[in-house]
Structure 1
């Protein structure tokens, strides 16, 4: 059966790439937008969609991929999938929407695929944005592609260093709000007494030191996206005010009675176990459900099989600039053996150290091994609370918090390295160390 000429002419006039094919996967027509983007040098008509798009010899579902045609046959409906497509510029992620077209007997006779490149992610080393092609990465990316065009609040869950802010940026850039600001808020670094003012702004005279009126981060994100990083660290007293913003879309500056409206999309992230915080009463259940309309779990690096070989060259290009360094195969093999509990952030730090240790234009295995040894954590974390020491005379009773502060003060005075090294020595995260240092000295940077 041949498609109607009117259908082929209609597809030709569409601005987005479209192809038309039959139940045997044979491409019957491809519009100008498709030919420009995916096959400018060779006709695709008469070839199968899986051969053109993936260089497969069999349909996608027989090659370990999700096949929209097979899914449509099962559901009888339109289907959407995220695929890696071959293009003249290399592989690229593409959102596919397949629609079945019924014939005279009511059964699907033809299928139309609309394709939209997902420009926030790549499967090639050296690219910008999200990089990967492992099944775990593609599952996560499929959820990003689904939720990005919507207004839904998104909760990003994952270990520290998995790239939550990068995923938040990808969601923002693939959304209708891409032309407006993305404003990131590090909730763990905001003192409780300043949290409300930073988020909502304040009026002149609202508190000591408020000499002028100031807009908050919610206003700065107007029309765009507000990214709340480490949302699990928001104090309970502030959680109810954030809940009001999410439920009503309104807020008040500190010291003002004027109700303001917020035009924002909220994305939040945490590495903490929010279910445990809920059980402990440290996080509001109603706020949790407001934030987690669409949760996305970010896979740790150890679950992204094969992605390290793509990530390492791309990260190296960023941290070593303007030098043009490359990784030797032996160096890459050493990297592949590492557990990377700090995930992509740890990989980036290791590559930066290796680049500083490397001479010439290539990072060798010995450079990576030296970088690993230089940054290796102590196997026995230093305890913040010292063991009790016998005293000649009984000392005045002191709280555990006081003992911890004194011990931390001593360690800081003796430490000559970086904050990251001190945090590793203490066996805590940099953010936790930052909060403890701020508690010692609120004026510290």
Structure 2
């Protein structure tokens, strides 16, 4: 930091803290050298309950246990960005808390002095409840940079009414992400309705979506509300929207554009009220070029696209996912663990089927884990591991002359993970 940057005056800090005490969210005041000067009651209650001192300490030491600022450890540093922009910056981080690692939405605002210089920063921290950075029996789990980017996008769009398009390979957890968007929105207490577009024949699609009147077709012995009506006030999730027949795409477009529909066999115009989330593993832009997907429908559903990373791009999460899947009680009928060698094998497999394939492998292996431990011998379909996690970065460092970022790319891990592993190995 520049030496001429003056510290905030004590009266300025007192005024800020007095103002922040009325805020329900945890907030702290930082000086330009990363020191925590003050915190409101909400911060003390949520992040300071372990009794360890934090006032006067560097924010990156308290939140991340780093020895250097976040940007030097492979993270996005909101203070660096806010200083460059002289404006607020917002980022999703994983912080160490009294409860363990947690996803936290961090917003940092600079405080300007009378001559326009930055004298302090106010940081607002919001705990992200839609995902866990620890093994969890339910919901989204992950801590890798690729997962965190998708989660940050989710946090941005969930409070709005924009349609969301979830893109990614099969098995990447699109339904869980869709449910998380719903549960983070102001519609969380209303229905979350799933429409499996790939499982509906064209002849049934309209009836399932819009409902039908009695006698509308053979077998329609009574009036039936459709899934659009069931989702009233909530969220409609169109899973695998790339499978919607062309003939139905125009009717779906009309529903989205006008917010109205009619039951099959009915004449009454009904009004819909739902938040739209769609998902697909198909290349919709390629399908548009080939005339298989309507361009106008694509632009209606893709106001906010989120690409979910395949499992091979979030290898750091495999241990978390394994422990979470084993916690959820649907793999085996007893408590199971995984040996370090088996975990290394799982982490080095490319997972073309993503999390769905991981679950299937664990289910099969659990049948042979007679002593409750899944070992490499129970994973014959996977390639042997190249090296145990934590060893490769140290070994690869020997004779490497490039930057830390280049080494991380060569190893297929994030710069943050590389920093942590080198630190664990006593290397800089």
TM-score (norm 2): 0.84
**Matching of residue 161 in structure 1 with residue 139 in structure 2:** no
**Matching of residue 362 in structure 1 with residue 369 in structure 2:** no
- Per-residue deviation, residues 247-268 of structure 1 (Å, max 9, x unmatched): 1111111122222221111111
- Per-residue deviation, residues 63-108 of structure 1 (Å, max 9, x unmatched): 1111111111122212111010110111000111212222111232
Alignment gaps of 5+ in structure 2: 1-8, 384-428
Query: Which residue matches 1:32?
Result: 41
Query: Which residue matches 1:206?
Result: 216
- Per-residue deviation, residues 48-76 of structure 1 (Å, max 9, x unmatched): 21111111111111111111111111222
**Matching of residue 42 in structure 1 with residue 52 in structure 2:** yes
Query: Which residue matches 1:5?
Result: 14
CA RMSD after TM alignment: 1.5
Superposed displacement of residue 321, structure 1: 5.2
Contact 1:61 1:67 in 2 (8 A): yes
Superposed displacement of residue 332, structure 1: 1.1
**Could you tell me which of 321, 340, 348 is aligned with 2:359?**
348
Alpha-carbon distance between aligned partners in 2 of 1:180 and 1:51, rounded to the nearest angstrom: 41
Alpha-carbon distance between aligned partners in 2 of 1:4 and 1:301, rounded to the nearest angstrom: 45
Query: Which residue matches 2:125?
Result: 115
Task: Give matches, 1:258-277, under 5 Å.
Answer: 258-277=268-287
Instruction: Report the structure number with the largest CA radius of gyration.
Output: 1
Paired residue total:
372
Alpha-carbon distance between aligned partners in 1 of 2:104 and 2:260, rounded to the nearest angstrom: 37
Change (3 A) 1:238 1:184: same
**Matching of residue 253 in structure 1 with residue 240 in structure 2:** no
Contact 1:316 1:352 in 2 (8 A): no
**Matching of residue 335 in structure 1 with residue 341 in structure 2:** no
Alpha-carbon distance between aligned partners in 2 of 1:98 and 1:223, rounded to the nearest angstrom: 34
**Could you tell me which of 288, 312, 320 is aligned with 2:331?**
320
Contact 2:29 2:39 in 1 (8 A): yes
Contact 2:137 2:327 in 1 (8 A): no
**Could you tell me which of 235, 239, 244 is aligned with 2:245?**
235
SS at the partner of 2:53?
coil
- Per-residue deviation, residues 352-411 of structure 1 (Å, max 9, x unmatched): 111112101211211222x669xxxxxxxxxxxxxxxxxxxxxxxxxxxxxxxxxxxxxx
Contact 1:316 1:348 in 2 (8 A): no
**Matching of residue 124 in structure 1 with residue 143 in structure 2:** no
Alpha-carbon distance between aligned partners in 1 of 2:13 and 2:40, rounded to the nearest angstrom: 15
Change (3 A) 1:108 1:217: same
Query: Which residue matches 2:77?
Result: 67
Query: Which residue matches 2:410?
Result: none
SS at the partner of 2:257?
helix
Alpha-carbon distance between aligned partners in 2 of 1:103 and 1:322, rounded to the nearest angstrom: 63
Alpha-carbon distance between aligned partners in 2 of 1:151 and 1:229, rounded to the nearest angstrom: 18
Alpha-carbon distance between aligned partners in 2 of 1:322 and 1:33, rounded to the nearest angstrom: 41
Alpha-carbon distance between aligned partners in 2 of 1:185 and 1:199, rounded to the nearest angstrom: 8
Alpha-carbon distance between aligned partners in 2 of 1:274 and 1:49, rounded to the nearest angstrom: 44
SS at the partner of 1:95?
strand
**Matching of residue 14 in structure 1 with residue 23 in structure 2:** yes
Alignment gaps of 5+ in structure 1: 374-445
TM-score (norm 1): 0.81
